Amino acid sequence: MRWLALDVGARRVGAAVCDRDERVATPLPALPFAGAEPLAAAVARLLTERELAGVVVGVPQTRAGASRGEARVAAVVAALRARLAVPVETVDERGTTAAAEAALREAGVPPGRRRELVDGVAAQLILETFLERRKLRRSADVDPSTDGC
C-alpha cells in the first residue's frame, strides 16, 4: 500500500511517499500551505496522480496540547478526513524537523539547499516511523503457534 506523509508547517508542507511494499520512503517537493481546505484539495490530486492509498500526518504534540501548530494540524486532519476516501492516520512528529536538518547537515548539503529539502525529509522521517510501527503491529498480529508450518 502506498502512503503519503505530510509535515504541516505555517508556510510549507513537507511531503513524502513510499513504495508499494512499504519499505522505502522518498521525499517530494514541499507544498505551499494556504489553509486546510486548499491543502486537502492538493492532497486529493496527489493521491490520484500517484495512486496512493492513505495519508499520514505528523502531529506536533506539546505538553500543554494547544499550540498554534497543533490547531493548524488538527484542522488539516479534519479537512483530509472529510474530503478523502482513504485512511488518514497521525503520528507524533516531535523532533523530525531537527532530525531532518541534522541529517542534511551531516550529508554536507549547503544551508540554502537545506531549507528547500528539510520539509520533505521531515515528512520522510514521519513516514518511516509510521511504516515501522505498522510493520511491528502486523508482525504482532501473526499467531506464533502457526509459524508458517
Q: How far from 131 is each of 15, 89, 116, 145, 149, CA to CA, in Å?
A: 15, 11, 24, 25, 27
Residue 146 in any domain: the answer is no
CA–CA distance, 55 with 34 (Å, rounded to integer):
19
| CATH code of the domain covering residue 93 | 3.30.420.140
The predicted pLDDT at position 125 comes to 95
Residue 143 in any domain: the answer is no
The 3-state DSSP class for residue 63 equals coil
Grid look-up 531549507 returns: 115
Give, as one character, the DSSP assignment of residue 142: S
Would you state the cell numbers that stand for residue 124, as one nine-digit string?
A: 520522510
pLDDT tens, position by position, 77-105: 999 999 999 999 999 888 888 889 999 99
Give the DSSP H or E segment for 45: helix 36-50
Mean of per-residue pLDDT scores for the chain = 90
Residue 148 in any domain: the answer is no
Task: Identify the band that residue 54 occupies on the pLDDT scale cut at 50, 70 and 90.
Answer: very high
Residue 149 in any domain: the answer is no
Q: Domain of residue 63: give its range.
A: 3-136
Residue 119 in any domain: the answer is yes
- Count structural domains, the chain: 1
Residue 103 in any domain: the answer is yes
